[in-house]
Amino acid sequence: MDARDLRLLLGVADGADVGDLAARSGISESGVRRRLGRLAGVGEAGWLCRTGQGYRLSERGRAALDAIGRAVTACDTIAGIIDADSVSVRHAQLVDVVAATGSIGGAARHLGLPQPSVSALVARIERQWRAVLFERTPGGVRPTPILVELLPHLRALASVTSPVTDPEEPPVPPGVLQLASEFGFSGLLDALRDDALVDVRQHIVDIPGPDWTPAMLAADICVYADLPLVGLAVPPGWDSTVAFEDPAYVLMPHDVGPGRTEISLRELAGLDWLTGPAGTRNHRSVVSLCRAAGFEPRIRFTALNGPSGRRILEGGGAVALTSATLVPAGTMHTVRLAEDVRIRMTVSWRHRSTATATAGWLVRWLRDQQVRRLAECRPDLLTELRADPARWPTYARQEVHRTHHPEQD
């Protein structure tokens, strides 16, 4: 949580609507809605509760209202001294702990984090605050003059932050996390650094078979697509949740099913298919789906990704399975699959690890991006999915919460 979130809570307490909150905070209305959604929980568990189209403070929020006001005052004072728009409460906590212990190592032991992670975080905070906060010495660290000025306000903030932070979250984010992702998401790394307040090293991995790869098992967080009939089993010791799910579409030659809005798998029995290489999950998923529909697919091409696969599809030489928003840009003919076939974007992370908070943030980010893409390219589909939350719960207008994987029980 940062000062902008705290200020939004105060605005809700004053009865301000989304437009007023946006004007007060300098955040767009869509940004305000995302933040309010993040601050809302299930029932009284979050800081806010939904009331129709608006929000009210939950019991938890009302109990912390005085502390929230004092935290905002302290954050604003700190931001004024360093000439910043806003200050992260967790960043301020870390600086205070390092100053109190007098060393990076002492702060790391106090927080239960690796020393390199704390050192990297301090360096990042100094870059964001545009100020050198500590003088490094052989015996530890000493506050610089600007930190001496900040310390009374950091201590004041620390004295009121326990009611305005989540006790299940680590006091500061880990310095570096390993993210294994089956796909590259534009803007993800910058957003992680700026919003989730954590450094992430991303590795795009190929997932060739039914099991997790070594790169996935070595990571802190994994992002991958669960394909129809060939979903990846989550290993013991990991939690998992679906960020969003899409109905399956078929990329088809223009002369097949012109004007159709849906087509069944059985109608594709006589066509050539393009899949990933033999043994990949895409290949296995297409084979399994077609066999379940009563026929063996005629797979003539195995180059789903890249220019060669695109040329085959654009030339109308084959059909391929895709999802609502993975349809390549251009003039390709796409038709929704009549069967209830879904492609699920999944996020998994180590159970009760320091990656938990970042994984939750990542789920929200992926879902927000997906809703934005659908709103831009398929608004009719987004309306349909949101109108049926029982079948498409990931598109319901509600906050994402961590789901415990049953294998851990």
Integer CA distances (angstroms), 244 to 184, 203, 369, in order: 16, 21, 10
**CB burial string 182-212: b at 16+ within 10 A, e below:** beebeebeebbeeebbbbbebeebebeeeeb
Angle at 348 between CA 384 and CA 228, to 5 degrees: 50
Choice among 68-82, 186-200, 284-298, 303-317 with the minimum mean pLDDT: 186-200
pLDDT at res. 134: 95
Q: Which residue did the predictor score with more confidence, 172 or 62?
A: 62
Which residues have a Cβ under 8 Å from the Cβ of 198 and sit 6 or more positions away?
173, 174, 175, 176, 177, 192, 358
**pLDDT band at residue 338 using 50, 70 and 90 as cut-offs:** very high
- Spell out the domain ranges in the chain: 1-63, 90-168, 173-409
**Partners of 322 in the β-ladder:** 249
pLDDT at res. 146: 95
Choice among 50-54, 73-77, 236-240, 390-394 with the minimum mean pLDDT: 50-54
Q: CA torsion sign, 110 to 112 to 118 to 121?
A: negative
> Phi first, then psi: what are they for 402, rounded to 5°?
-65, 135
pLDDT at res. 161: 67
The two three-digit tokens of residue 318, written as one number:
């084959």
Mean pLDDT (whole number) for 139-166:
83
pLDDT at res. 388: 93
Give the distance, in angstroms, between the CA of residue 6 and the centroid of all CA atoms in the same chain. 21
- Asked if 58 contacts 49 with a C-beta cutoff of 8 angstroms, the reply is yes
pLDDT at res. 409: 32
The correct answer on CATH 3.40.640.10 for the domain covering 173-409 is no
From 1.10.260.40, 3.40.50.300, 1.10.10.10, 2.60.40.420, which CATH number describes the 90-168 domain?
A: 1.10.10.10
pLDDT at res. 378: 84
1-63 in CATH: which number? 1.10.10.10
Q: Element (H or E) spanning 310, and its range?
A: helix 307-314
Task: State pLDDT tens for residues 215-227.
Answer: 898 888 999 999 9
Instruction: Classify strands 262-263 and 333-337 as parallel, antiparallel or unpaired.
Output: parallel
pLDDT at res. 210: 79
Look over the chain and give the mean of its residue pLDDT values, rounded to a whole number.
83
User: Around Cβ 373, how many Cβ atoms within 10 Å?
Assistant: 15
**pLDDT band at residue 64 using 50, 70 and 90 as cut-offs:** confident
Portion of the chain with pLDDT greater than 90, in percent: 32
**pLDDT band at residue 34 using 50, 70 and 90 as cut-offs:** confident
Q: Comparing 1-63 with 173-409, is the CATH topology the same?
A: no
**pLDDT band at residue 26 using 50, 70 and 90 as cut-offs:** confident
> Phi first, then psi: what are they for 66, rounded to 5°?
-65, -45
**pLDDT band at residue 330 using 50, 70 and 90 as cut-offs:** low
pLDDT at res. 173: 47
Nearest-angstrom CA–CA distance, 135 and 142: 5
